Amino acid sequence: MPSQPVSIQRVILIVLDGVGIGALPDAASYGDSAANTLLHIAQAEGGLTLPNLQRLGLGNILHLPGIPPAAPAAAHYGRMQSCAAGKDSTTGHWEICGVTQLQPFATFPQGFPAEIIAAFQEQTGLEPLGNIAASGTDVLRLYGEEHLRSGRPIIYTSVDSVLQIAAHEEIIAPERLYEICQITRKILDPFRIARVIARPFIGTAADNFKRTRRRQDFSMPPTSLTVLDDLTAHQLTVHAVGKISDLFAGQGISKSVSTRNNQEGMEQTVAALKKVERGLIFTNLIDFDMEFGHRLDVAGFARALERFDAALASLLTALSPVDLLMITADHGCDPTTAGSDHSREYVPLLVWQPGMTMGRDLGTRATLADIAATIAAIFSLPLRNGTPLTLK
């Protein structure tokens, strides 16, 4: 195993959800041969202003309007390709942590089959509304009033491998909704559906129904051990920020903090530096994907990148010489291409330690699992998958 800097005590790993950097060689089979999330946003906006990411070396990975290559880049830089089947957040995060899915999760763009709905009715005693693929706002507009009258929960899906259950908090209390989701999770395990999501909402149709912060995810657990399991088994902390714990069904997580948006995600990442002495701070920033990529909001995506770059300055200042920062993504979500699905793309990789002033080109990594391998090498853990980065 290649030697790594022994001084590293903490790894801060930030996943920019949906921030891809160019179509993978097999992207055509996913309908994504034209995708390039970062490049297309930069082109559409006439350039991006991301001074901190530019200094680290984002423009050295791919020349982007407004983000020229740094000479030299302060961080090590490169790109990674997924060798897993699929292009969803669960698949990407699992591969980052060393588990490669060779069979994609199941999706149901035409709604769930009769056997799933029948099992749901039998085991919950509830007849659902909906069973369509649609956005959460559309589902509430279509079925919200009928749900209030009948008390029937609303089932829907999306382009992801997910079954979502929406219910008004005054009709089905969130705690009961979570119980329903736990029952549903067990029903779905043989079907390889990645997540069941509880979607509580409030309000009326007149004032537009609003989803609340009581969302809860019930995920399929990883199919084998991850680097998170190895960290916690060796009494090292895994501090999850954002939806990380949901994506791993809580497996291998020491502490989890939920967040409402990217801003809270960055604030909680900085706050975690005061709580974690040795181990991993693992953050997912969801806004790029959820708020802007899926909604085809190019300008909003660009502003979110700029806000992240500004928040990154505070994190860089807060890090100490024993910290290693890794910034990457899990897949693309190009808002300029047809459809609102994720896109099958390379993801950027920036690796920086305080005191570094000259990084080098890490090239194109064959798997996202190289991150797991690097973390394993740093903490002398089992090497399950991937190749460690040489950080010296």
- Residues 15-24 pLDDT 10s: 999 999 999 9
Across the range 325-342, mean pLDDT stands at 94
- For 103, 182, 219, 224, 358, the CA distances from 385, given in Å and listed in that order, are 17, 31, 22, 11, 28
Both tokens of 390, joined, read 């040489």
Closest to 48 in 3D by CA, of 225, 228, 377, 308: 308
Beta bridge partners of 283: 14, 241
Residue 365 CB contacts under 8 Å (≥ 6 apart), including other chains: 78, 79, 80, 81, 349, 387, 389
Question: Domains of the chain (ranges plus CATH)?
Answer: 10-105+221-378 (3.40.720.10), 114-219 (3.30.70.1250)
Say what the pLDDT of residue 283 is. 98
Distance CA 286, CA 269 (A): 14
Across the range 350-378, mean pLDDT stands at 96
> Is there a contact between 155 and 131 (Cβ–Cβ < 8 Å)?
yes
Strands 129-133 vs 154-157: parallel, antiparallel or unpaired = parallel
Distance CA 7, CA 285 (A): 27
> Is there a contact between 273 and 4 (Cβ–Cβ < 8 Å)?
no
> Is there a contact between 163 and 206 (Cβ–Cβ < 8 Å)?
no
Confidence of residue 136 (pLDDT cuts 50, 70, 90): confident
Say what the pLDDT of residue 327 is. 98
Residue 164 has, within 13 A of its CA and on its CB side, a CA count of: 22
Kindly report each contact of residues 118-121 with a partner whose C-beta sits within 8 Å and lies 24 or more positions away, as own/partner: 119/187, 120/155, 120/183, 120/184, 120/187
Question: Helix and strand tally (H, E) in the chain?
Answer: 13, 14
- Residues 152-182 pLDDT 10s: 999 999 888 999 999 999 999 999 999 999 9
Say what the pLDDT of residue 229 is. 98
Both tokens of 109, joined, read 């763009």
CB atoms within 10 A of CB 69: 16
Both tokens of 62, joined, read 């791919």
- Residues 255-273 pLDDT 10s: 999 999 999 999 999 999 9
Both tokens of 220, joined, read 């399929």
* One-letter amino acid of 60: N
Q: Where are the alpha helices (DSSP H) in the chain?
A: 37-44, 51-56, 58-61, 89-96, 114-124, 136-150, 174-188, 227-233, 244-247, 262-272, 287, 298-318, 370-378
Across the range 347-370, mean pLDDT stands at 96
Across the range 141-149, mean pLDDT stands at 96
pTM of the model: 0.92
Distance CA 282, CA 137 (A): 30
Is residue 8 predicted with pLDDT exceeding 80?
yes
CB atoms within 10 A of CB 156: 27
Q: What is the DSSP letter of 111?
A: -
> Is there a contact between 323 and 354 (Cβ–Cβ < 8 Å)?
yes
Across the range 294-300, mean pLDDT stands at 94
Say what the pLDDT of residue 338 is. 83
* One-letter amino acid of 13: L
Helix, strand, coil share (%) of the chain residues, nearest 5: 35, 20, 45
To the nearest whole number, what is the mean pLDDT of the chain? 95
Say what the pLDDT of residue 26 is. 96
Is residue 14 predicted with pLDDT exceeding 70?
yes
Distance CA 357, CA 349 (A): 17
- Residues 84-131 pLDDT 10s: 999 999 999 999 999 999 888 999 999 999 999 999 999 999 999 999
Say what the pLDDT of residue 1 is. 36
Say what the pLDDT of residue 2 is. 41
Say what the pLDDT of residue 7 is. 85
Confidence of residue 339 (pLDDT cuts 50, 70, 90): confident
Say what the pLDDT of residue 18 is. 97
Query: Any idea of the CA torsion for 81, 344, 54, 270, to the nearest 10 degrees?
Result: -90
Across the range 176-196, mean pLDDT stands at 96
Is residue 375 predicted with pLDDT exceeding 70?
yes
- Residues 200-248 pLDDT 10s: 999 998 888 999 988 899 999 999 999 999 999 999 999 999 999 999 9
Across the range 175-198, mean pLDDT stands at 96
CB atoms within 10 A of CB 115: 10
CA 385 to chain centre: 20
Closest to 185 in 3D by CA, of 102, 126, 134, 249: 249
